[in-house]
Structures are given as structure tokens and as C-alpha cells.
Amino acid sequence: MNVKGGIDLGGTKIQAVVMGPRGKVVGEAKLPTPEEGGPPAVVEQIVETMREAASMAGVGTEELAGVGLGSPGAVDAEAGIVAGARNLPDWEEAFPLALALSERMGCPVALGNDVQVAVDGEFALGAGRRNSSLLGVWWGTGVGGGIILGGKPWIGRGAAAEIGHIVVKMGGARCTCGRDGCMEAYAGRGAMEIEARRQVKKGHETELFEIMEKRGRTRLQSGIWARALEREDPLAVKLIDRAVEALGAGVASVVNVLDVEAVVIGGGLGTRLGEPYVDRIREAMQPHLFVSDRPPAVRSAALGDLGGAIGASLLVKGRARARKPAAGLAE
């Protein structure tokens, strides 16, 4: 049977899909990422999530043609190893994830970088499916990227598309990577939260942390920023404005180098804030574009919440790799 699995391994949740022969989602499941227990606990939960999705599709995991997984951290796709996944519990050392999963699920498992597989998904089935070159900008806790050139992913020597760490201001804000002036230091949700806490200590008022506490959260997740923006909270507005400016400068600079046909904006914050903010990023790019009368298309990611898992399923070689639009996608 030509069905295959895809998994998006995130810091807060694990999502799994089963893709049918025509690139349609025939099973899906979502479980929280374990907060402790290291790689073995994460492996257990991934297997459980995939089993649920497979059972919804009426198959066992051993009947899948294979499973692709998009992982955070440093991914060695060839060796099937993940190291330094700081969003996952006790996951600094290299761990042979592909082998561990394949033994438990009874089918081949392929690994990829989480952002790159999501961008591959948009390229094959989503917002970039009519383009041959694409820059994906995944605006979330950090700002990740993915590049498609000449119809193929460009990963350089393995570390390409780290768009969050291009410099938008010499000697600028301290980035979570330890360098100064990176785009992510202004636009990453993690960096924005650090700045918001600093401003509160200095006496600035904001509803951000009130909304956070009301929702029983400990971090400023995307939905909290969205709510604060709706309420026109001045600090939230100021920090998001700054983020949009940084994204405009950074993304336009990359476009000046690569001259891609399209830019796709995804990620937790990008997806949550949606179209109006994609429009604002497009406007913020304009003054920095060298060939300003021929800007690339700038679009929202189209595959939605399941995009990461759907993209990961494309790591499994097979017929469904052909570029066919998924059912029900908006043009």
C-alpha cells in the first residue's frame, strides 16, 4: 500500500499524519512532547502519536512505506542522528533517532531539519507549488529558513538558510545565539519575550504577562502576542513593529542575493498572525529590495498546522513526491 507517515517533532507537541496515495491526509494525531525522560521518553511518545494516526487511517505502522520526521536541533539525515535539540528534554548528546523509531515502528524512518521539511512541503503541495525557487521564513521562537533553488532544496554543507542570524544591525541587540544584531534578536519570539521582560523591569506597562498568566502559561506563546495586539497593548505593538522592520530588512537582503520567485512566511507566530502581517512584512521589505519594481511574491504558508508533518512525509521516497496540489487548498 502506498501510504506513508510524517511527523513534526516540536518543543511542545508532536504531530503525526498518514498521507494517502494522492497526497491526502488520511490520518492524524497530536500528543504533547514529554518534558522529561530524555530521548527514550520522546521516542515512546513519537511512536504513540504515529500509532494513533495510523490507526485512524486503518493501518499499522509496519504497513507504512516509511515515516519521515522533521526534527529540531542538529540533524544528520544520512546517519539518522539528532544532537543538541535544546527544545527537547535532556537532548544535548547525539542520539540515533531514526534507528530507534524504525525498530519500534517496523518501517524505514528518514530524518530532516524541521524547518526545511516544512518549506519542502509548501514547495511540493502548498504556497510555493507553482514556483521553482522559494525562500521559506519560519517566524516562531526563533526565525528559521528553508531555501529551494532550481526545484531542489539547498542545504549548503548542511547549515544553509539560517536566516535568523543574518545581521540587520551592526553591534545591535544580543541574539540568543550569543552574537549581536541578528534578525532573530529583534524578530524571534524568544528574543521578544526577553526584551518584554526587560522593559517590564524598567517600569513599562503591558498586558502581555497578565494574558499569559490567565491562560496558565509560563511563556509568551504566539496566541498571547496575538491577543495583546488585538487589545493594542503598546509594548506588544512596539516589539512586533520592530520585529516586522527587522524581517523586512533581513528577508529583502536574502532576496537581493538569491532572487527567488516567492517568499513563504510560516512558523508559529507567522501562521498565528497571518495575512495582515504577511502584508506588513512585504511592505517592510520594499525599501530594501535592490530591484524594487520586481518584488517576489510574498505569501502565507498554506498547509496550516499540519504543514510540518506533511512536509516530513515527503522525506519518504515514493510516488506521492510528485508535485500535485493537495485537496482543498486555497489558491
In the complex, the residues that contact Zn ion under the rule CB under 5 A are 165, 175, 177, 179, 182
The nearest distance, CB 176 to Zn ion, in angstroms, is 7
The nearest distance, CB 260 to Zn ion, in angstroms, is 22
CA distance 125 to 210: 39
Nearer to Zn ion, 31 or 177 (CB): 177
Residue positions counted in the chain:
331
Torsion of CA 202, 203, 205, 207, to 10 degrees: 70
The nearest distance, CB 113 to Zn ion, in angstroms, is 17
Nearer to Zn ion, 165 or 282 (CB): 165
Nearer to Zn ion, 107 or 168 (CB): 168
Nearer to Zn ion, 69 or 161 (CB): 161
Nearer to Zn ion, 64 or 254 (CB): 254
Q: Are 191 and 199 in contact (CB under 8 A)?
A: no
Nearer to Zn ion, 179 or 204 (CB): 179
Q: Output the nine-digit C-alpha cell for 253.
A: 537582503
Containing H/E element for 49? helix 38-56
3-class DSSP assignment, residue 183: coil
- Taking alpha carbons only, the member of 127, 156, 125, 153 closest to residue 263 is 127
Strand locations in the chain, DSSP E? 4-9, 13-19, 25-32, 67-71, 74-76, 81-83, 109-113, 134-139, 143-149, 152-153, 262-266, 297-300
Nearer to Zn ion, 8 or 184 (CB): 184
The nearest distance, CB 165 to Zn ion, in angstroms, is 4
The nearest distance, CB 277 to Zn ion, in angstroms, is 22
The nearest distance, CB 178 to Zn ion, in angstroms, is 7
The nearest distance, CB 185 to Zn ion, in angstroms, is 6
- Taking alpha carbons only, the member of 137, 154, 141 closest to residue 247 is 137
- Taking alpha carbons only, the member of 157, 145, 85 closest to residue 120 is 145
With the C-alpha atoms ordered 194, 195, 201, 205, is the resulting torsion angle positive or negative? Answer: negative
What pairs with residue 70 in β-bridges?
A: 8, 112
CA distance 304 to 294: 28
